[in-house]
């Protein structure tokens, strides 16, 4: 079983590399259709890898900031599959600097953050404002890096700052089981359980208590813990 999981992981790595290459080319050739190609690609991954998605809650299309826990590269793929909006992911500069494949961020005008640059927060604020004005939905991982999947890491303050400064409507999203399906580090694949994606109630921070960010993290952690224990429908 372990060998099969590894072999499937190698297959997914090769398949990802080839299909991402193709999507980058298509997005540059047809820039007005980049969201169409990204969503088609994401739905294709569901078929090629063979996982299932169990979605709970409702997507609020008026929300402009998605705050999502992070376990695997599949978190991005699954949200691109499910959400109807043209998402603008906030990603670290190291990904954008990858030879050729960094264009997966550049071609669709995602938001790149240089953590070593002291002015990065100012640029992030400007970029987020511009994307929102162009009717895009910002997607952020507040943990800043991938977790083991069983509990949340400490949240960075970037999403809180943006939501309050720009008065963005926030929708928390809890993703369960993506690391179990595809571990981005070990490249092991197990599609025996579906991925759960839980869209929580959206809100404006100004309508909440000052501790809204900490309260949101607590709720997301509780939902994650509960859904790890619950059987998948």
CB burial string 62-76: b at 16+ within 10 A, e below: ebbbbbbbbbbbbbb
Residue-wise pLDDT tens digits, 10-32:
899 999 999 999 999 999 999 99
What's the domain count of the chain? 1
Residue 4 confidence (pLDDT): 80
Residue 230 confidence (pLDDT): 59
Q: Residue 83 belongs to a domain with what CATH number?
A: 3.40.1130
**Residue span of the structural domain in which 66 resides:** 2-229
Residue 116 confidence (pLDDT): 75
Q: State the Cα–Cα distance between residues 68 and 141, nearest whole angstrom.
A: 5
Residue 148 confidence (pLDDT): 83
Q: Which residues of the chain have pLDDT under 70?
A: 1, 230-233
CB burial string 111-133: b at 16+ within 10 A, e below: bbbeeeeeeeeeebeebbeebbe
Residue 233 confidence (pLDDT): 42
């Amino acid at each position: 079983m372990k060998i099969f999981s590894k072999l499937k992981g190698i297959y997914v790595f090769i398949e990802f590399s080839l299909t991402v290459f193709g999507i980058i080319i298509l997005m540059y050739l047809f820039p007005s259709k980049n969201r169409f190609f990204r969503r088609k690609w994401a739905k294709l991954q569901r078929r090629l890898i063979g996982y299932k998605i169990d979605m709970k809650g409702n997507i609020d299309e008026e929300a402009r900031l998605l705050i999502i826990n992070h376990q695997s590269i599949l978190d991005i793929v699954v949200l691109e599959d499910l959400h109807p909006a043209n998402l603008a992911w906030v990603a670290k500069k190291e990904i954008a600097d990858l030879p050729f494949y960094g264009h997966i961020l550049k071609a669709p005008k995602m938001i790149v953050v240089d953590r070593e640059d002291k002015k990065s927060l100012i640029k992030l604020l400007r970029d987020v404002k511009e994307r929102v004005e162009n009717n895009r939905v910002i997607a952020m991982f507040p943990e800043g890096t991938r977790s083991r999947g069983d509990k949340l890491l400490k949240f960075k303050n970037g999403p809180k700052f943006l939501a309050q400064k720009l008065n963005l409507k926030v929708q928390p999203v809890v993703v369960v089981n993506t690391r179990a399906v595809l571990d981005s580090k070990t490249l092991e694949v197990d599609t025996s359980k579906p991925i759960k994606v839980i869209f929580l109630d959206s809100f404006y921070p100004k309508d909440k208590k000052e501790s809204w960010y900490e309260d949101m993290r607590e709720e997301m952690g509780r939902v994650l813990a509960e859904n790890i224990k619950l059987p998948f429908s």
